[in-house]
């Protein structure tokens, strides 16, 4: 498929009252998806998931802080990239976090894009 996915360092934050779901703490990442392939890539195909201390973590939508949950609907042309913010629920204490990406739900490839503490 020819994608490069880069992720910023984690940013722990307190979600606003408008966040969904309502959680006490979340971790946010800035992600960049670069299309190194020869045909346009639809970012709507990208599936992201996270584990906090080995347990599934819910994605947090907090538009007030830029975490809209949308990765964009416009196709990314070859040689171009798109950036977006994504956030996941965390418990109050510092935990091990693993974020994985699956660029195409029809494919089996799942890659770890972050593995660390937050």
pLDDT at residue 72 tops 80:
no
Q: What is the mean pLDDT of residues 89-110?
A: 92
CATH number of the domain enclosing 108: 2.60.40.1240
Summary mean pLDDT of the chain: 94
| Total domains present in the chain | 1
pLDDT tens across 41-68, in order? 998 899 999 999 999 999 999 999 999 9
Q: What is the mean pLDDT of residues 87-100?
A: 97
Torsion angle in degrees (nearest 10) through CA of 22, 115, 65, 48: -70
| Alpha-carbon span 74 to 72, nearest angstrom | 6
Query: CA angle at residue 103 from 70 to 2, to 5 degrees?
Result: 120
Domain that holds residue 71: 3-117
Residue 69 confidence (pLDDT): 78
Tell me the percentage of the chain whose pLDDT exceeds 70: 98
pLDDT at residue 1 tops 80:
no
* CA dist list (Å): 20 to 26, 42, 105, 108: 11, 25, 24, 29
Q: Which of 59, 70, 83, 74 is nearest to 4 (CA)?
A: 83
Rg of the chain on CA atoms, in Å: 14
């Amino acid at each position: 498929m020819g994608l490069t996915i880069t992720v910023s360092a984690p940013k722990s934050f307190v979600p606003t009252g408008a966040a969904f779901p309502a959680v006490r703490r979340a971790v946010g990442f800035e992600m960049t998806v670069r299309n190194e392939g020869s045909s346009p890539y639809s970012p709507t195909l990208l599936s992201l998931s996270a584990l906090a201390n080995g347990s599934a973590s819910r994605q947090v939508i907090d538009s007030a802080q830029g975490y809209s949950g949308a990765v964009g609907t416009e196709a990314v042309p070859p040689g171009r990239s798109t950036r977006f913010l994504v956030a996941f629920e965390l418990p109050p204490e510092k935990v091990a976090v693993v974020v994985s990406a699956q660029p195409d739900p029809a494919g089996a490839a799942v890659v770890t894009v972050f593995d660390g503490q937050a």
